[in-house]
Amino acid sequence: MDNKTTLRLRNKTGKTWEEWYNLLDTYGESNLQAIIEYLMRNYELDPHWAQLIGMRYRHRRSLS
């Protein structure tokens, strides 16, 4: 992702990509829909950010 998206992520969610990846590693789920619902429910993320984080997490961790 470009720097603009990275800065927006930090501003909108309060976390960096690596912080989200580490959090999701701890959560231990690989199903995208479950990840999205988890992020929306527990971190009050809107669907856009929850999906983007979930998709990128799965790609980064080679889960997709």
Residue spans per domain, the chain: 3-60
In tens digits, the chain (64 residues) has pLDDT values of 678 989 999 999 999 999 999 999 999 999 999 999 999 999 999 999 999 999 999 999 997 6
d(CA 20, CA 53): 7
Rounded to whole angstroms, the Cα distance separating 24 from 58 reads 10
